[in-house]
């Protein structure tokens, strides 16, 4: 008699993974794909822009990246403003520390606007990648003349938002991982015991 379907599936998967020409080739292909993608992301501008644009659209993960980046921007700009560094120099420094091209492109627009004498908050508002809360808080700093304090408050606000986003990501992943592991373990247990039950029926 042939093995039950689930048991046969486990055996086939095991044979596939242990076979160097099958499982080994699949692992090698996955590793090579990751290496090639990382290389293209580092060297090809179109690939990097495609990744940077779409990673921000991924639910929860994009939110985590955005909050982290905004907190970093406000923190650095606040520290540089407190140290007496000019706005243009500060923007150049921040642009070199941010890796996502969507933000570096926005900083080019902001820098050009600052050079023309426009308000910083208005320039941030002109770039869709910056949320209203970010530039509205900066506008308050411009009105009160306490930009370094407002940058610090903005950094703290987005740091707290980042912590909440990470917590939401963890909460979303936990049940998925638990259910996935439960289904996998349950399937393996069923596959292991089905031949025993089948033999019991035949003996009976």
Give the pLDDT mean for 177-189.
Answer: 90
User: What number of H helices and E strands is found in the chain?
Assistant: 9, 0
pLDDT of 204 > 70? The answer is no
Q: For residue 29, what pLDDT band results from cuts at 50, 70 and 90?
A: very high
State the pLDDT at residue 1: 57
Residues 137, 162: Cα–Cα separation, whole Å = 17
Angle, helix 25-43 to helix 45-55, in steps of 10 degrees: 100
Q: CA dist 124 to 91, 97, 108, Å?
A: 12, 18, 11
Give the other-Cβ count within 10 Å of 191's Cβ. 18
pLDDT of 180 > 70? The answer is yes
Please, how many CA atoms are within 13 Å of residue 184, restricted to the half-sphere of its CB?
6
Give the other-Cβ count within 10 Å of 90's Cβ. 22
Lowest mean pLDDT among 17-21, 90-94, 155-159: 17-21
């Amino acid at each position: 008699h042939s093995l039950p379907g689930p048991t046969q599936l486990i055996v086939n998967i095991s044979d596939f993974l242990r076979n160097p020409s099958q499982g080994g080739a699949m692992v090698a292909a996955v590793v090579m794909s990751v290496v090639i993608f990382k290389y293209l992301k580092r060297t090809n501008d179109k690939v990097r822009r495609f990744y940077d644009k779409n990673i921000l659209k991924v639910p929860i993960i994009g939110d985590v990246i955005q909050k982290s980046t905004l907190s970093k921007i406000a923190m650095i700009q606040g520290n540089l403003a407190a140290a007496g560094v000019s706005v243009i120099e500060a923007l150049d420094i921040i642009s070199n520390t941010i890796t996502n091209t969507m933000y570096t492109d926005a900083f080019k627009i902001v820098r050009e606007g600052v050079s023309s004498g426009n308000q910083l908050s208005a320039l941030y508002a002109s770039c869709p990648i910056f949320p209203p809360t970010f530039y509205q808080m900066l506008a308050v700093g411009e009105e009160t003349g306490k930009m370094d304090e407002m940058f610090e408050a903005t950094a703290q606000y987005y740091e707290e938002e980042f912590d909440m986003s990470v917590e939401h990501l963890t909460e979303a992943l936990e049940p998925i991982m638990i259910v996935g592991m439960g289904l996998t373990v349950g399937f393996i247990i069923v596959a292991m015991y089905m031949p025993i039950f089948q033999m019991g029926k035949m003996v009976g």
